[in-house]
Chains A and B, each alone.
Chain A
């Protein structure tokens, strides 16, 4: 869908993007992660053809990115806003027409969206008469009204109250189900695990990590497990198929240990070793959260 190849963007003394390459597959929900100032917005602006890269190329559906793709992309910028003194219906139609929709088609689709999001009574209202949350909702509709194939959302959940954030999240997922590819930038990791298929992590203008969320998490697993058992505390002598990292006991005879597998051992070996001794309640692999990976990666670099 979107192939970003070796993008370099230089602003005077500051290099915003340095040789960044990212592949976004069709139908994905792709998360662009990174701390503030990493270069996410610069990259998003380049994809939207707001600015041009100094070197590198972007391919959209196999074609070199050009003006004809503008109507197939929907963009919700981080810094968002609408014309304050313009009526909301008229404004939505105007923005959709700038994306290439006809007036009639824009009106028809807008009615559907307004119905769906309980906004029908807003049509004649001016933006300045709406609450902040309502404005965000309207802006989201403006982003997707022309039914873009690629929807780019820069920090989409900032500024939404939890209720509206949930509504928007559901809408994003539904659009994705209907075939739209979603690219969104965020530094909120919990939304990444919930929504994204793949991510790329950008830090200090370099891409430092990318891949599917599952793949990345798996690669950051380090054969660590939690085991919960009931019985008298285990005694370890060094012949176990694992090393003990942590041990916690509670009053009702239940104990939790955190272990790391020795080389060439598996979780089955662990169970075989423990089961004769105690009653095992749970064995769970410790998978690092995206947040931990993110922090670890960013700190590693800097």
Chain B
């Protein structure tokens, strides 16, 4: 036991000391910081119209003329010129467009908008909004409703979704759930492979440098393998912990830079508050650990069977396939039906569960499903480690022998 601790310590310290590890720790929160600022800037600017736009209004209905109000960078002009003249003019001039309103403007597609370039949706949206307001007001006035009353009942409504659960009404935001689900699944997918590959590279390094025989004259191959797997796993956890702390600080900083109503990243952050973070984080850590243990054991077995990294291809493909498959499917299927049968199955099968389950988690997963999936996960990773260890103990001593699948099976059945 003492010796496995020594191995864990060595694996951990040599990796944590590396410059690349320290760079990675700061890189991700920095990226979040930069992204936050960019999103904030984009969100602020996207509500504004970029250039000075002039809309020439030809109103044949008599309802709208003079009732448009100008907003920054968008000016309305009434005109009685002929439509063809205006079209010709609009064709020649940037940011000049013609709005032609026929008498029967309520007919579908009756109102026409001519411009040289494709008009920005902000411009057309603004025009539609104003026209709707004007038309509605016009109708109401026709029915003798006071305009004073009208302005009083003008309201600005946007939807706030509230989910009814056992815990009471919970405010949730679909966008935030999707965001967290995707972020978690990408993070799990990448980290399982990144750290799994580190285990594999470590095994290959020990095998090609021939240190392995010296080490296993002191410790059991199983101890060496597990020491490496655990040590690298702890590196992963350290990285996550550092990211969480630094990301929190980063969002605090961006938060303090921005003022005013919650837009951009602050809006997103506000939405994130609605997600049950404790359970999501707990499940994330569980699936990272078990998924990592499962895959890194397989990676270790692969590493022991080859003499160089280039030879790993034939074994890597079938191992990486299930996770890759889930990862690709995640966006399309899990989204539409996070509790659909495919999503449920994928989150039960241990090879695909790490990605599938963390993706489903923000949407809420029934307890029994989580229970079955977690139990299977634990059983499978123990089994994987058992199989991997049997291949590993033989593989690390086989120099210069090209391993096939048949060979691996043979190794598995070797006596000690």
Residues of A within 8 A of B (CB): 11-12, 45, 48-52, 54, 70, 73, 75-77, 79-86, 94-95, 97-99, 139, 142-143
**Cβ 8 A contact of B219, one of A11, A54, A84, A98:** A98
**A54 and B415 within 8 A (CB):** yes
**Cβ 8 A contact of B217, one of A11, A73, A79:** A73
Q: For the complex, is B3 an interface residue (Cβ under 8 Å from A)?
A: yes
**B209 and A81 within 8 A (CB):** yes
Given known contacts A50-B397, A54-B415, A98 and B218 CB-to-CB distance under 8 angstroms: yes
CA of A101 to CA of B338, assembled, Å: 55
Q: For the complex, is B331 an interface residue (Cβ under 8 Å from A)?
A: no
Scan B202-233; emit 1 where CB is below 8 A from any A CB, else 0. Answer: 00011011110111111100000000000000
**A142 and B214 within 8 A (CB):** yes
Q: For the complex, is B416 an interface residue (Cβ under 8 Å from A)?
A: yes
Within the complex, the shortest CB–CB distance from A143 to chain B, in Å, comes to: 8
**B211 and A83 within 8 A (CB):** yes
Given known contacts A12-B410, A51-B416, A85-B14, A77 and B213 CB-to-CB distance under 8 angstroms: yes
Chain A residues contacting B206 (CB-CB under 8 Å) are 83
* B contact residues, range: 20 to 34
**Cβ 8 A contact of B210, one of A49, A51, A75, A81:** A81
A-B contact list, 30 entries, CB within 8 Å: A11-B414, A45-B397, A48-B217, A49-B217, A50-B217, A50-B397, A52-B416, A70-B217, A70-B218, A75-B214, A77-B217, A79-B210, A80-B213, A81-B209, A81-B210, A81-B214, A82-B209, A82-B214, A84-B209, A85-B14, A86-B14, A94-B10, A95-B214, A95-B215, A97-B6, A98-B3, A98-B7, A98-B219, A142-B214, A143-B214
**A50 and B216 within 8 A (CB):** yes
**A80 and B217 within 8 A (CB):** no
Scan B1-25; emit 1 where CB is below 8 A from any A CB, else 0. Answer: 0010011001000100000000000
Q: For the complex, is B399 an interface residue (Cβ under 8 Å from A)?
A: yes
**A99 and B218 within 8 A (CB):** yes
CB-nearest residue of chain A to B224:
A98
CA of A86 to CA of B11, assembled, Å: 11
Chain B residues contacting A86 (CB-CB under 8 Å) are 14
Of A54, A99, A143, the most chain B CB neighbours within 10 A belong to A99
**Cβ 8 A contact of A98, one of B14, B210, B215:** B215
Of B206, B209, B211, the most chain A CB neighbours within 10 A belong to B211
Residues of B within 8 A of A (CB): 3, 6-7, 10, 14, 205-206, 208-211, 213-219, 397, 399, 410, 414-416
CB-nearest residue of chain B to A10:
B415
Within the complex, the shortest CB–CB distance from A40 to chain B, in Å, comes to: 14
Chain A residues contacting B416 (CB-CB under 8 Å) are 51-52
Chain B residues contacting A51 (CB-CB under 8 Å) are 397, 416
Chain B residues contacting A12 (CB-CB under 8 Å) are 410, 414
CB-nearest residue of chain A to B213:
A77
CA of A81 to CA of B3, assembled, Å: 20
**Cβ 8 A contact of B214, one of A11, A45, A77:** A77
**A50 and B14 within 8 A (CB):** no
Within the complex, the shortest CB–CB distance from A30 to chain B, in Å, comes to: 18
Chain B residues contacting A139 (CB-CB under 8 Å) are 214
Chain A residues contacting B216 (CB-CB under 8 Å) are 50
Chain A residues contacting B397 (CB-CB under 8 Å) are 45, 50-51
Given A70-B218, A80-B213, A98-B218, 8 other A-B residues pairs in contact with their CB atoms under 8 A: A75-B217, A80-B214, A81-B211, A82-B214, A86-B14, A98-B3, A99-B218, A142-B214
Chain A residues contacting B399 (CB-CB under 8 Å) are 79
**B6 and A77 within 8 A (CB):** no
Within the complex, the shortest CB–CB distance from B340 to chain A, in Å, comes to: 48
Given known contacts A94-B6, A94-B10, A98-B6, A52 and B415 CB-to-CB distance under 8 angstroms: yes
Among all A-B residue pairs, the 7 with the closest Cβ atoms:
A81-B210, A98-B218, A81-B209, A77-B213, A52-B416, A75-B217, A48-B217
Chain B residues contacting A79 (CB-CB under 8 Å) are 210, 213, 399
Within the complex, the shortest CB–CB distance from A79 to chain B, in Å, comes to: 4
Chain A residues contacting B208 (CB-CB under 8 Å) are 81
Given known contacts A52-B415, A98-B219, A77 and B10 CB-to-CB distance under 8 angstroms: no
Within the complex, the shortest CB–CB distance from B231 to chain A, in Å, comes to: 13
Chain A residues contacting B210 (CB-CB under 8 Å) are 77, 79-81
Chain A residues contacting B215 (CB-CB under 8 Å) are 95, 98
CA of A222 to CA of B205, assembled, Å: 53
Chain B residues contacting A142 (CB-CB under 8 Å) are 214
Of A11, A48, A51, the most chain B CB neighbours within 10 A belong to A51
Within the complex, the shortest CB–CB distance from B267 to chain A, in Å, comes to: 46
CA of A76 to CA of B214, assembled, Å: 7
Chain B residues contacting A70 (CB-CB under 8 Å) are 217-218
Within the complex, the shortest CB–CB distance from B159 to chain A, in Å, comes to: 57
Within the complex, the shortest CB–CB distance from B283 to chain A, in Å, comes to: 36
CA of A48 to CA of B216, assembled, Å: 9
Within the complex, the shortest CB–CB distance from B24 to chain A, in Å, comes to: 18
Chain B residues contacting A97 (CB-CB under 8 Å) are 6
**B211 and A82 within 8 A (CB):** yes
CB-nearest residue of chain B to A152:
B217
CA of A98 to CA of B5, assembled, Å: 10
CB-nearest residue of chain A to B394:
A51
CB-nearest residue of chain A to B410:
A12
CB-nearest residue of chain A to B215:
A98
